[in-house]
Structure 1
Amino acid sequence: MTIIKNNIIYDQNHQLATDIYFPNDTTTNTKILIFWHGGGWFRGNKESVKEFGISFANAGFMTFIPEYRLAPKHIYPAAHDDALTFVNWLLESHYTDDDDQKNIFQIGASVGGNMAIYLAGKFGFPTVTWSAPVEFSDWFKNHIDTKPSPVAKEEFGLIDRHQIAASFYKYFAQTYAGTANEAVLAKINAKSFDLTNLGPLLMINSADELTPITSVLDFINYLSTKNLPSQLMVIPGHGHAMDYAKEYLDESLDYLFQIAKRHR
């Protein structure tokens, strides 16, 4: 039976909290998993992914699902700063030992995957992303005429799936960036992150979805030129992140378990 502690404050200044899911047999050797929820940086919460917290705990991970500040009230770099604040809190908390940085793993869904890559570059946490968006500035230059909307079908009468997705992509990126300025958007590009300490990374993406596969392929190629470790799993269809999460949960956890075995 999973034990859950809700609303443990990790940032007093912004009153941000995390939920913690404990496996039955928690010991000092228990691996730690941070799960970053998605929602385009403007919606989503830790409560909505409770079933995943339970699944991760049942798989043997002490699981943390933090909340972070959302746009449009809080624009870039608020969510990324919150993610960094959380990790620093975790490493200094009584939930970890002095050498536990090597025992921390991540899964990030959608924009949560973007944040997970940001942290992986700093701390080396083995990481799995589900449909992480990794590029914005060039995408905006190529979609000048696209109108941003979270509900383009209703607002603009669009019926083409790709046009609706593009409208949403522009909306959430511009909402979090607080602008369509290329220089600001470029800061959220995964290539712009400090990836010096990037650890093992598995990116899972659908072949034709919200996150442009061309940008993901370009990012994987970029990592290879830097001799940084990464794998890409392209799955059929057009589902985004949580659309296929349950189906590929075992593959994600198996990847992390294999990394954990190598780190023993």
Structure 2
Amino acid sequence: MLNKVNAVKAKVANNFGLVKKRYQDFRLYDFASYTLNRLTPKKGYTVQTQLAYGLKSRQRFDLFKSEQPLAHRPLIIFVHGGAWLHGDKKDYFFIGEAFANEGYDVIVMNYHLAPEHIFPAYVDDLHVLLSYLQQSAAKHEISAENIVLMGHSAGAFNVMSGVHYPASNTLNQPLSVRAIIGLAGPYHFDYKDDPLCADAFDQSVPYQQVMPYYFVQKTPTKHYLMIAEKDKIVGHFNSHDLDRVLKEHGNHSEVVMIPKLGHITIVGSLSSLFSRYFMTKAKVLWALEDAFK
């Protein structure tokens, strides 16, 4: 009888552990993005999903093509956040719509996630995508001549590192990355035992050997660092520190404060459902126009 009771207790404990894990994995933003995507307009663009840019399962992207593209046919590559541990391109359908309807072609990419894949794996994925676009732009009827890299949170780190970190996965020839737009990006912080993202980095490697802040070089790329006024996750110093060192190396850099919004809502506010109530999309469009002057 005692063995049966213990077996029941063990089963209950195991079920509770599974429920707890599922609860931890279910973030409020997952529900919010699902709702945003369901309500996102489906007019003004075409979309192709699950296009491969590499051989591995996470090396996939969705392509949103504007039905009324701008004359210079700019291409935005958006990289999602999620502390390098979670997130998926399918959660950002609203990003593709928001900018495809402004005349931009948009790629929303997936990349490898921690803890199975740690830095620089997710930055390497961006380089693999860019290399693929060098060879396949004509196939997809897009331009690889006027690229803007845009990322939120961990994705902002990825796009900044994609330009400034000395990667081993180099491109055959330089692409025309006209601008980087970082939304609430972590560019200069110590990840040692960080409760959110420690598993995304090799803890034996000092952050000074990883953060893009320490690898800035002079480039023709323009940098726009968007800060969420009420961000409680990524400190504003990340953007201010990077802005300073970018300028010290002769780069164009702008810090833009977005009022009223927090770390997650800054990206959600780009949705066409809410963009008229907040400054985020207007500031991103300003940065895009400024980058192509």
Q: CA deviation at 1:56?
A: 1.2
1:27 and 1:199 map into 2 onto residues whose CA distance is 20
- Choose the corresponding residue for 2:151, options 70, 87, 108: 108
Taking every aligned residue pair, what percent have the same amino acid on both sides? Answer: 19
In structure 2, the residue corresponding to 1:172 is in which secondary structure? coil
Q: Which moved more, 1:243-252 or 1:231-240?
A: 231-240
Tell me the equivalent position of 1:135: 188
- Choose the corresponding residue for 1:22, options 52, 57, 65: 65
Tell me the equivalent position of 2:17: none
Q: Deviations over 1:219-254 (max 9, x none)?
A: 2111121111100012345601x4123230121022
What letter corresponds to residue 251 of structure 1 in structure 2? K
2:200 and 2:209 map into 1 onto residues whose CA distance is 12
Conserved 8 A contact 2:151-2:181 = yes
1:39 aligns to 2:82 (yes or no): yes
Tell me the equivalent position of 1:224: 247
In structure 2, runs of 5+ residues without a counterpart are 1-42, 165-173, 270-277
Structure 2 counterparts to residues 90-101 of structure 1, below 5 A? 90-95=133-138, 100-101=143-144
Q: CA deviation at 1:113?
A: 0.6
Structure 2 counterparts to residues 243-262 of structure 1, below 5 A? 243-245=265-267, 246=269, 247=278, 248-260=280-292, 262=293
Larger radius of gyration: 2
Please report the TM-score for the alignment, with normalisation by the length of structure 2: 0.70
Conserved 8 A contact 1:136-1:173 = no
Query: What is the total number of aligned residue pairs between the two structures?
Result: 228
Tell me the equivalent position of 2:20: none
In structure 1, runs of 5+ residues without a counterpart are 141-147, 149-169
Please report the TM-score for the alignment, with normalisation by the length of structure 1: 0.78
In structure 2, the residue corresponding to 1:40 is in which secondary structure? coil
- Choose the corresponding residue for 2:201, options 177, 180, 205: 177
Q: CA deviation at 1:101?
A: 4.4
In structure 1, the residue corresponding to 2:284 is in which secondary structure? helix
Tell me the equivalent position of 1:125: 178
Q: CA deviation at 1:216?
A: 2.3
1:28 and 1:84 map into 2 onto residues whose CA distance is 26
For the aligned residue pairs, the C-alpha RMSD in angstroms reads 2.5
